[in-house]
Amino acid sequence: MKLTEQGGQGASEGQLTVGTLNVGSLTRRCWDVADIMEKKQIDILCVQETRWKGKQETEIGENFKMLNSGADEKGRSGVAVFLNKVIKENILEVERKNCRIIKIKLCFSGHIVNVISAYAPQVGCSKDLKKRFWEELEEIVSSIKLDERLIIGGDLNGHIGCNPENISKIHGGHGMGKMNKEGELIVKFALAFDVAMINTFFKNKNYTTYSSGGRETQIDFLMCRRSHLREVKNCKIIKGESVNTQHRLVISDFLID
């Protein structure tokens, strides 16, 4: 991977490549994640379902660093952010909210960029757990200044559908299926904080991010402030580049100016 002083390939012009991926478990998979990042030239990767306990900062060779916010007492959930070797030198702050939310604040191309990896409770989890997750995500986003960049990568475990009626400012119309109750929580959050669901603003051959037992859905998302959506140059859903056969890698290139 060719790295410049500011980040990954092209970053001298403010280009930043960010992705999100549910890994199912990080056990014996850190190097697999690093290999994906190197192959796809990803600067920052938000990771969910690490299943690692504790709060680790782990160097993966010379080129990558992983910051983890550990799983719960039963070894469930867990989130992390992987950074390439140049980006990791620009970390300003790490906030581990809980086993489902971690925020990294960094300096990139003269701007403050906040990256959040988030893992929403699955369908079937209690209403209280879902309510607490969204309240805590709202709390952490509320603390970020409006002139700072915000990028959220997460397995949000909800369907927002393909019909952007009444929500077109945060939904670009590209998607699949119908909205469910969990999707309504995603949309409510996006509207409240004026963040765009990046996946839905770019046309793809297939919008599936999760596939299991013949069922295909879109539950993994990248998000940014709507006011900075013009800085997003693409959004790709990549099949076959994963350490978890059920989830697909989602990546976007940002040109931050």
Number of domains in the chain: 1
Tell me, yes or no, whether 216 lies in a domain: yes
Mean pLDDT, rounded, for 228-247: 92
Calculate what percentage of the chain has a pLDDT beyond 70.
Answer: 95
Q: Which of 64, 59, 149 is nearest to 109 (CA)?
A: 149
CATH number at residue 171: 3.60.10.10
Tell me, yes or no, whether 9 lies in a domain: no
- pLDDT single digits (tens) 181-207: 999 999 999 999 999 999 999 999 999
Residue 148, domain extent: 18-255
Tell me, yes or no, whether 82 lies in a domain: yes
Mean pLDDT, rounded, for 97-116: 97
Tell me, yes or no, whether 7 lies in a domain: no
Tell me, yes or no, whether 248 lies in a domain: yes
Tell me, yes or no, whether 1 lies in a domain: no
Residue with tokens 């980006």: 87
One-letter amino acid identity for 242?
Answer: S
Cα 184 from Cα 123, distance rounded (Å):
13
Q: Could you tell me the pTM of the whole model? A: 0.94
- pLDDT single digits (tens) 9-33: 444 578 999 999 999 999 999 999 9
Element (H, E) at 33: helix 30-40
pLDDT at 6 (0 to 100): 40
Q: Residues 6 or more apart from 33 whose CB is under 8 A from it?
A: 21, 23, 26, 45, 47, 60, 66, 82, 243
Tell me, yes or no, whether 2 lies in a domain: no
Tell me, yes or no, whether 5 lies in a domain: no
Cα 17 from Cα 255, distance rounded (Å):
9
- pLDDT single digits (tens) 126-174: 999 999 999 999 999 999 999 999 999 999 999 999 988 899 999 999 9
**What angle in degrees, to the nearest 10, is found between the helix axes of 127-142 and 181-193?**
20
Confirm if 85 and 64 have CB atoms less than 8 A apart.
yes
Q: Residues 6 or more apart from 117 whose CB is under 8 A from it?
A: 20, 46, 47, 48, 79, 80, 81, 101, 102, 153, 154
